[in-house]
Amino acid sequence: MAAAAATAVTKGNGGGGARAGAGEASGSRKKKGPGPLATAYLVIYNVVMTAGWLVIAVGLVRAYLAKGSYHSLYYSIEKPLKFFQTGALLEILHCAVGIVPSSVVLTSFQVMSRVFLIWAVTHSVKEVQSEDSVLLFVIAWTITEIIRYSFYTFSLLNHLPYLIKWARYTLFIVLYPMGVSGELLTIYAALPFVRQSGLYSISLPNKYNFSFDYYAFLILIMISYIPIFPQLYFHMIHQRRKVLSHTEEHKKFE
């Protein structure tokens, strides 16, 4: 799940880096881009997703101005957040059919980890929805996704402003740790309620002779951040140096 917070940068992103979503080529090799119809579809998809996350951003600002407090702002953007984050599942399909040159496995992991956090943690454990940690990862995701989908849109149109490219490969330095912290704190806040309610857990004996402890599963997810976060973060730092230094060198020769 740590990978999900990183959707700010890398290709085949590991966002992690970040997933190479709609319209971004993977690696240093030049790959044949999507056809005209696929390109038109991807542009529309990325424009819609950019607009969706902008709606979430505006909703957060309006709710803050109305309430005069940052507490419990999640409720003001809950529906669009669920809709547009779940809409990212289409990115798995994009990879599967080959119109986006990214790893299906990696993209699936990164998209599903966010969908899991939204539905299986924040939605399912109502008590954590008022936690400030939820706002922490929502803000990180919102800024990241506005930049990411804008990046893909302009890349597909072959008119990528340097500012957007710089933001995509720079702001993750703050947004990635911020998102991961919010995710971890939210899962941690959910643990007591999961244990008390036995949410999604299956106890023996049963006819399937199978047991599942959702409480322990969430703890394992939290532990998985320990090896994953440093690897992805430093990978993205490497990607930033490579991409932006290449851009600066290109400008010198123009």
**Would residue 214 show up in a list of annotated catalytic residues for this protein?**
no
**In the chain, beta strands by DSSP E:** none
Per the residue annotation, which of 145, 183, 225, 233 is the catalytic one? 183
Q: pLDDT band for position 246 (50/70/90)?
A: confident
Say if 27 falls within a structural domain.
no
- What is the per-residue pLDDT for 31? 56
Q: Is there a domain that residue 20 lies in?
A: no
The answer as to whether 82 is a domain residue is: yes
Would residue 176 show up in a list of annotated catalytic residues for this protein? yes
Tell whether the model's pLDDT for residue 2 goes beyond 80.
no
The answer to whether position 4 is within a domain reads no
Q: Is the pLDDT of residue 57 over 90?
A: yes
pLDDT category of residue 26 using cuts at 50, 70 and 90: very low
Q: Token pair of 211, please?
A: 């047991």
Query: Would you list the DSSP string of 217-228?
Result: HHHHHHHHHHHH
Work out the burial of residue 16: count CB atoms within 10 Å of its CB; fewer than 13 is exposed, 13-18 middle, 19 or more buried: buried
Mean pLDDT of 31-54: 93
- 28 part of a folded domain: no
Q: Is the pLDDT of residue 8 over 90?
A: no
Tokens of 210: 């199978």
Domain that includes residue 71, residue range: 35-201+211-248
The least confident of 27-31, 91-95, 235-239 is: 27-31
pLDDT in tens, 143-189: 999 999 999 999 999 999 999 999 999 999 999 999 999 999 999 99
Per annotation, catalytic residue among 45, 152, 176, 215: 176
Residue pointed to by tokens 């790893």: 103
pLDDT at 88 over 80: yes
Q: What domain count does the chain have?
A: 1
Residue 24 to residue 102: CA distance in whole angstroms: 8
Q: Is residue 218 part of a domain?
A: yes
pLDDT exceeds cutoff 70 at 253? no
